[in-house]
Chains A and B, each alone.
Chain A
Amino acid sequence: MAETLVQDVEKKGTFEFGKKERKLLTDPLNENNPITVQVLGICSALAVTTLVFPSVVMAIAVVFVCAFANLFTSLLRNAIPKQVRMIVQLVIIASLVTIVELVLKAFNYEVYKQLSVFIGLIITNCIVMGRLEAFAMANKPWQSFLDGVGNGLGYGAILIGVALIREIFGKGTLFAGSPIQMNLIGANNVSTQYWINTAAESGIGTFFSWYSNNNLMVLPAAAMFIIGIMIWWQRSKYPQLVDVS
């Protein structure tokens, strides 16, 4: 095990950043997006996108976990026996998440409480394991690290896009739950009345008070529709992605 590690470090060479590496970062943002093209990480995209703020938190966490899980798996890739590779991959993911959890618990308890809800969602996020299987098991550490960052960002972009639509039309707020929460539209709905009392009292909401929140947007089904439409738009832009079958 130790020898393969050393070999890897030697083979890796410098941390070059050429055309290929840049592609690793930008591809997941458009034509190889983890959600809309690779179909990975849908569950968490449905679960956290009712509000923008948790989506941002989740996106940051996934970038971090995905990048480092890719890095460690790639370092160990030649030593991992094929028969037990899934367990090894999950041990790596779960330990990374647990380390973050323990450190936050000791140094910033408030953030830990915010994040503790996501722990299950990060471990079972198929993007992380999907990239380990598809990329890190067959590529060098530095490239794998970049691939992890890129895919995390591509995932985050969709997450935040969906969350913006769902929060504005479903709750009439923006960034609710964060320090900069604001009230945008709608005033005559049960669920926004909570926010109106607490969030900015004179937002743009005053002008759109006729708007009644669309409860459909709060349901997971709305996220399915929005992602479906995003796929439609993306595939009209990149016709090579269209299913021929």
Chain B
Amino acid sequence: MVWQGRWMMAGKWIVGFVLALGVFVAPLPASAGKADNSIRFAYDQAPENVDPYFNNVRIGVIIGQHVWDTLIYRDPQTNEYKGQLAESWKQIDDRTYEFMLRQGVTFHNGDEFDADDVVYTLNFVSKPESKVVTQTNVSWIDKAEKIDKYHVRVTTKKVFPAAIEYFAGPVVIHPHAYYEKVGPKGQNEKPVGSGPFKVTAYSPGKSITLERNPAYFKASPKAQAKINRIDIRFIPDRQTQLAEILSDGLDFIMSVPKDQADQLQAVPTLQVVSGETMRIVFMQMNILDNTPAPALRDERVRRAINHAIDREAMVKNIVGAGSRPLATICFPTQVGCTDEGAARYAYDPAKAKALLAEAGFANGLDLDIVAYRERNQTEAIIGYLKAVGIRTNLRFLQYAALRDVITSGKAMLTHQTWGSFSVNDTSASTPNYFAFRAEDITRDETVRDLLNKGDNSVDLATRKDAYKGALKIIADKAYAVPLYSLPVYYAAAAALDFKAYPDELPRFWEMRYK
């Protein structure tokens, strides 16, 4: 929308102006957040349903991980799996897992946690008719069976090596009696979980209040919350969020644009922290038989595009602290992700020009590029391409429209990003774009077979080997342009002690005021 663009520009200008005149900003009173040991947090989107199975937005994940628990917990610092609602687990065969459940855990409504909760939740969400929003989070579950009160067996539909990662991520456990009675609608209206915070007030689309759960089980790898209350407000406009934190109306915001984050550093009562996220940025090139850009079928052209872009300079000047350049299409900590042996393309515009000339494009060529976010980064890419003679026409679209263009085979170049749903396994990233799925505009059968092998093998060494092979071919044949990981900037009250993690999940249960 035109007004939205203008409004954002105006807002940036005004906030920038205010920050530049920092001395004229009235001194802040004692923080209301710190005064009553609460955190006032704003996010730009509201979840459609607080039940984690029925929303697909980041704020839904954040609320979900505070109100509910999962069977397993992945330590964000070491990536080590620890028991959460499950005390221990073991893999019986390729498709079967058994969980010994923790005793003495209670839900916020006082119900005691046991095998019935796990069995009911998993069997309910894995049924297609339950209409879970992100089917890939649950469609791999075949069934869950109760062995005894604290002992559960879960079977997957096929070999699914990333199962543990999902048990530690989106697969939260609901109290079965309550969930059976009220369903997802009732869980949205009055959420009940077992997590470190409980919902005490909720106004859909407007705000939600989480209060510390004093009865939270001590053995949880999530720390006991030190903060009494989190007041979450849904404020759609980022400029308004900035104005709120500048005027002490908020204590914590995230996804602050880099330029404004740089300026916020100068405000003494605030702190700005940036952290790498699992979201990777890359370019795809359409080399399908019916590609509208036949030039991209020439490997020399694709290599030229790879050489044309200065990833290091983009990371340093535009993307910001926490980001790192990438050489393959996956996030480095994901199981199976590696750039070992894969071709690397140093920034070398002269070589790019020479490759283009060799491919018969000495006078350059014209291509469309589709993008949907981080427009300033797309524009930098366009600048780099122009410098080597590739003239691009930018089509900046909404995500749904961008996907239409890609899946219908009408895209030439794309400027894409992918967050892997914070799943720390390569099966959640590379196959999306190279295993003949809807957004694969490369379609190399060898790559597909290797990725399928990685996705469906249980042996870790076999998986790693298969992914390594696929990633090497993608890089060597320059099927795509891996760019960098995206950071996220947080702005918070200076007195708040917190740490940023790659899964973009602020862990309020760890935070405290200094």
A binds B: no
